[in-house]
Amino acid sequence: MGKGITGFIGIAGLVITLVAAGYVARGPLTGGTLPPRVHLIGAAAWIVVGLVTFLWGTRKFTASTERPEPERGRLRMYKR
């Protein structure tokens, strides 16, 4: 269940980033002007939030959950 949630978070971050970038690029691509400065700052903040969310979700989704096996020669056996 954890992989599904982190995968969804990664996809949500990607969608947030793409929507904010589309908002900024919409004006110049359609022959218009850029949005007002305040809207650009807000869109840039959403792009950063979306990128952080996307990277966190994909890093958690692709991370291995297996514990490393320690070398037997380095383990110490303590007697009580």
In a domain, 19, yes or no: yes
Q: How many domains does the chain have?
A: 1
**pTM summary value:** 0.73
Whole-angstrom Cα distance, residue 11 to residue 13?
5
In a domain, 67, yes or no: no
What is the pLDDT, as a whole number, of residue 60?
84
In a domain, 68, yes or no: no
Determine contact, residues 53/13, Cβ cutoff 8 Å: yes
State which residues form the domain around 56: 2-62
In a domain, 11, yes or no: yes
| DSSP one-letter code for 57 | H
| pLDDT over threshold 80, residue 67 | no
Give the tens place of pLDDT for each residue, 4-60.
888 899 999 999 999 999 999 998 889 888 889 999 999 999 999 999 999 999 888
What is the pLDDT, as a whole number, of residue 76?
67
